[in-house]
Structure formats: C-alpha cells, structure tokens
Amino acid sequence: GQSLEQPSEVTAVEGAIVQINCTYQTSGFYGLSWYQQHDGGAPTFLSYNALDGLEETGRFSSFLSRSDSYGYLLLQELQMKDSASYFCAVRDPWGSGNTPLVFGKGTRLSVIA
Amino acid sequence: GAGVSQSPSNKVTEKGKDVELRCDPISGHTALYWYRQSLGQGLEFLIYFQGNSAPDKSGLPSDRFSAERTGGSVSTLTIQRTQQEDSAVYLCASSPSLNEQFFGPGTRLTVL
C-alpha cells in the first residue's frame, strides 16, 4: 500500500514564499503530482515530477527526491487567490496504462494580508 | 463540452434509496476515474476504467457500490441502499496521459 504525509494547514503572508512538503511510503513509485483545490471546486492539476529535481511553472515549483521519498510544492509571490487546499499524489505502480493516483489528505493554505 | 461534466450537481436522498451518478469525460480520454471526498478530507479512490473495462475495483467501499462505462465514454456510479456514511462529494476525472487527471465539478450526495 501507499501512504502520503503532508501538513494539514499552512498560513503565509501575501507576497511571501511558502513550501508544502510531502513524504510518501510506497512499494513502488512512478511519480509525484500536485493538485490545487479551492473551496467548493474540483482539484486541478499543477505539476508532475517523475525524476529528481525541480520543475518550475510560473510562480509554482515542485521538487522531488526519490532517494528521500520526499517532495515539495513551492509557491512564490503568494496571492490571496492561492488560498486553497493542495494535495500531493503518487502514481500507484500496479496495473498498467493509466494507473490511479493515491492522494494525500491535503494541506490547507491560508494567505493573509 | 470542454471539460468533464457530472450530474446531478447535488443529490439529496433518503437512507435506503438507490442513487445513480453520471460522468461525461472529456472526449478522447480513455481513462476515467471515480473518487469520493468527505468534507475537509482527501480524495478516496473508488474505481477507474480503461476504455469500458475496470481493471481495479478494489477501492469500492462495499458491494452496494457499482460502476459501469459504456462506449468508452459516459460512466455511471450506482449506490444501492444508501447509508448516511455515503454522504460526500463524488468526483469523476478523465485522463489523456499517465500524469494528469482532469476533474469534473463533482456531485454532492446527502443521505438523510
């Protein structure tokens, strides 16, 4: 089975930088994804890391270290609209083709003025 | 449509009744997933389809839950003899690749 750990809540100031960590325990591993979900909305895809290192997409970056079973999502120049829940997810190694994702419980980010 | 659609958006039912939830994936997406999300919680995987077949049904919480997909497109999730613990938002997602899933707006199910 798989388990993912991420902080339940994080608060940060508008304009600042925040890092949301995710550690995972899996029997196998294909990649780490991040999703954003605003209250009442559906999750939307942010990023995917299959290899070690940093992936940057605008204000958001995602990092993966497979040897440490660890990744993080970095949000820069925080805006009020970034207040949402952020989920890390691991691709399950069994099956083939489009295998399902196992999601963490989510980190609720609150951006304050 | 441009995105994944789900219907109904809200469903209130009485305990013991059957409900059917519908998902229309993005055209051309061969993979389709169902998740359940309770208030303030993460996403609980229920079932996924590759085409019309469901290689993995282990996530369904009980035999009251079933799902089917026809024509490689529309999928329905059926919950028989609903219980109060079935109350949650049921999310459907479709996928064009191995890495990214596109989610629908969900169906909020309330069992009284």
| pLDDT (0 to 100) of residue A29 | 79
Instruction: Determine the residue among B36, B69, B98 to mutate to test chain A binding: the one whose Cβ has the most chain A Cβ atoms within 10 Å.
Output: B98
- The predicted model gives A31-53 an average pLDDT of 93
The tens digit of pLDDT for each residue in B73-93 reads: 999 999 999 999 999 999 999
pLDDT higher than 80, residue B104 = yes
Q: Are B36 and A100 in contact (CB under 8 A)?
A: no
Q: Is A3 left (phi over 0), alpha (psi -120 to 50) or beta?
A: beta
Biggest CA-to-CA distance, chain B: 38
| pLDDT (0 to 100) of residue B85 | 95
The answer to whether the peptide bond before residue B25 is cis (omega within 30 degrees of 0) is no
| pLDDT (0 to 100) of residue B51 | 84
Residues of chain A found within 8 Å of residue B97, distances taken between Cβ atoms: 98
DSSP-assigned letters across all residues of A41-86: S--EEEEEESSSEEEEETTEEEEEETTTTEEEEEE-S--GGG-EEE
Question: How far is the C-alpha of B97 from the C-alpha of A13, rounded, in Å?
Answer: 36
Q: Are B56 and A100 in contact (CB under 8 A)?
A: yes
Residues of chain B found within 8 Å of residue A97, distances taken between Cβ atoms: 31, 50, 98
Closest CA to A50 of A71, A76, A27, A35: A71
The tens digit of pLDDT for each residue in A78-109 reads: 999 999 999 999 886 654 444 577 888 999 99
Query: What confidence category does residue B40 fall into, taking pLDDT thresholds of 50, 70 and 90?
Result: confident
| pLDDT (0 to 100) of residue A95 | 45
The tens digit of pLDDT for each residue in A4-36 reads: 899 999 999 999 999 999 999 877 778 899 999
Question: How far is the C-alpha of B90 from the C-alpha of B67, rounded, in Å?
Answer: 12
Find the radius of gyration of the CA atoms of chain A. 14
Pairing of strands A9-13, A107-112: parallel
* B10 in contact with chain A, both atoms CB, cutoff 8 A: no
Share of chain B above pLDDT 70, in %: 98
